[in-house]
């Protein structure tokens, strides 16, 4: 009788260790404000880290691709249901997290019989007034909100180091090209903190050559409803020549 709570806590602790170990090599995704909106970017060996969720909401993921896709679809369905039942203006990240995805993640993690999600999510929003909002969601349902941008990564130490640097950088005053250069520089610094791995590019130039740069913006300076757009090949090419 008295053993059961102990066994449950031990199982939960083991799940934390298991997921953290699986996430360890996940490459960072950064999202920051810039003078016309929000930028979200990351490098990866294959595409599938950054997505549009709703009109003013973008998602970045670290972890198992199948889990990222499953939770992306869950968020997408929740956002469209909320927009249909209420209005597009009522679809906010705070509501989607507090009443939807966070409780679902927590329940999944604490049900020992089920496989845990191997995932960490970054969510960025540009509200109707043009104010950016940033959220970091953990595999166990715990979430945090940030004003000046945030980062997710597999390695928690790297994640916290990059987070400090984001907070100390006035990204909201930068034009897009400068924000891109600075986020690339922070990504490069985060890579140097990782354990040596022959599969990880050694320089930023190698990252551009060997991996995919996924980047998108939520722009508050456009007249159209769809404010999400992926960076063009031309923009990525200019960025590569300026930082390579």
- The yes-or-no verdict on residue 1 having pLDDT over 90 is no
Please name each of the domains of the chain with its CATH number. Answer: 27-243 (3.60.20.10)
* CB 75 within 8 Å of CB 59: yes
* CB 43 within 8 Å of CB 187: yes
Question: How large a percentage of the chain has pLDDT more than 70?
Answer: 93
Residues 176-189: what's their mean pLDDT?
94
Span of 69-73, 201-205, 228-232 with lowest mean pLDDT:
201-205
- Residue 163 — pLDDT band, cuts 50, 70, 90? very high
Interval 104-140: pLDDT, tens: 999 999 888 889 999 999 999 998 888 999 999 999 9
Span of 96-105, 188-197, 202-211 with lowest mean pLDDT:
188-197
d(CA 43, CA 24): 15
Contacts of 185 (CB under 8 A, 6+ apart): 204, 243
DSSP string, 167-234: HTS-GGGS-HHHHHHHHHHHHHHHHHTSPP-TTS-SSHHHHHHHSEEEEEEEETT-SSS--EEEPPHH
The confidence score (pLDDT) of residue 2 equals 44
The confidence score (pLDDT) of residue 89 equals 79
* CB 147 within 8 Å of CB 134: yes
Q: Which two tokens stand for residue 68?
A: 């990222």
Residues 34-62: what's their mean pLDDT?
92
Span of 49-53, 89-93, 169-173 with lowest mean pLDDT:
89-93
Residues 148-158: what's their mean pLDDT?
94
Q: Which two tokens stand for residue 229?
A: 């757009």
- Residue 70 — pLDDT band, cuts 50, 70, 90? very high
Sign of CA dihedral 136, 45, 204, 208: negative
- The yes-or-no verdict on residue 224 having pLDDT over 70 is no
């Amino acid at each position: 009788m008295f053993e059961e709570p102990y066994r449950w806590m031990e199982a939960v602790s083991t799940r934390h260790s298991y997921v953290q170990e699986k996430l360890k090599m996940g490459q960072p995704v950064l999202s920051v404000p810039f003078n016309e909106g929000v930028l979200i970017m990351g490098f990866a060996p294959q595409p599938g880290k950054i997505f549009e969720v709703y009109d003013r909401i973008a998602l970045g993921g670290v972890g198992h691709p199948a889990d990222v896709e499953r939770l992306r679809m869950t968020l997408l369905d929740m956002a469209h249901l909320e927009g249909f039942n209420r209005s597009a203006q009522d679809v906010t990240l705070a509501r989607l997290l507090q009443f939807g995805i966070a409780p679902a993640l927590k329940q999944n993690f604490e049900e020992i019989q089920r496989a845990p999600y191997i995932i960490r999510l970054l969510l960025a929003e540009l509200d109707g007034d043009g104010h950016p909002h940033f959220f970091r969601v953990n595999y166990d349902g715990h979430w945090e909100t940030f004003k000046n941008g945030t980062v997710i990564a597999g390695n928690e130490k790297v994640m916290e180091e990059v987070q400090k640097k984001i907070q100390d950088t006035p990204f909201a005053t930068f034009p897009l090209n400068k924000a891109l250069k600075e986020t690339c520089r922070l990504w490069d610094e985060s890579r140097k903190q990782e354990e040596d791995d022959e599969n990880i590019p050694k320089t930023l130039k190698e990252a551009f050559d060997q991996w995919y740069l996924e980047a998108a913006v939520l722009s508050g300076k456009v007249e159209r409803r769809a404010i999400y757009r992926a960076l063009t090949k031309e923009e990525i090419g200019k960025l590569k020549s300026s930082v390579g």
